[in-house]
Amino acid sequence: MELYSGYISRLIGELAVLPGIGNKSAQRLAFHIINMPPAKVESLAKAMTEARSNIKYCSECFTLTDNDTCPVCADQGRDHTQIMVVENTRDMSAYEKTGKYKGVYHVLHGAINPGLGIGPNDIKLPQLLKRLEATDAKEVIIATNSSIEGETTAMYISKLIKPAGIKVTRIASGVPVGGELENIDEVTLSRALDARVEL
Ligand code: ZN
């Protein structure tokens, strides 16, 4: 005998595949949703489908944005010769929150992970190289996570772009090993940036 209605089971199943949501949380959310006013549920569903279909990559830094270029790249007050390389849009937003960084970004959307078959061409690395060829970048700050994948990616990028005479730096180890940038407080992030070391 099915414990729940087919509709509720389906909703729980859809929610349970989201990161960080186990079966228990999925049940809690599902029951919360079916008790919400229908207009709220509609608005939630619409926000999800519209975000999915309208968000695109910034043509310069590849962060997720609504327009052709993101607000950071479009800002002429930022230092476009300093490019910080991050793994994802959440990491970029973590650095933006510090309010200390005045350069621009490049979002890789992942890190090199041979175990999972993710190579340099599976992330936005070729796009970074193309961008560096086309612009007069003076410094590339590598701010990938301090996980094995993040370090592998940092080393790989450094080897590729140093011969071009561009200064390559790595954010300092104030960021704990294996730490996800987005979970780190703004003071620690600012310090890691200030204390970056040349590779
Ligand atoms: Zn951008």
pLDDT tens digit string along 14-41?
Answer: 999 998 898 999 999 999 999 999 999 9
| Å from CA of 46 to ligand 1 middle | 25
| Å from CA of 2 to ligand 1 middle | 49
Residue 190 belongs to what H/E stretch?
Answer: helix 186-194
Q: Which residues contact 110 (CB under 8 A, 6 or more apart)?
A: 87, 88, 118, 122, 123
Q: 42: exposed, middle or buried (C-beta count within 10 Å: 0-12, 13-18, 19+)?
A: exposed
Query: What is the β-pairing status of strands 167-170 and 56-57?
Result: unpaired
Complete domains list, the chain, with CATH: 6-54 (1.10.8.420), 64-198 (3.40.1360.10)
With cut-offs at 50, 70 and 90, classify the pLDDT of residue 194: confident
Neighbours of 136 (CB within 10 A): 8
| Å from CA of 103 to ligand 1 middle | 11
| Å from CA of 75 to ligand 1 middle | 9
With cut-offs at 50, 70 and 90, classify the pLDDT of residue 190: confident
For the segment 140-151, the average pLDDT, to the nearest whole number, is: 91
Is the per-residue pLDDT at 172 higher than 90?
no
| Å from CA of 48 to ligand 1 middle | 22
| Å from CA of 138 to ligand 1 middle | 18
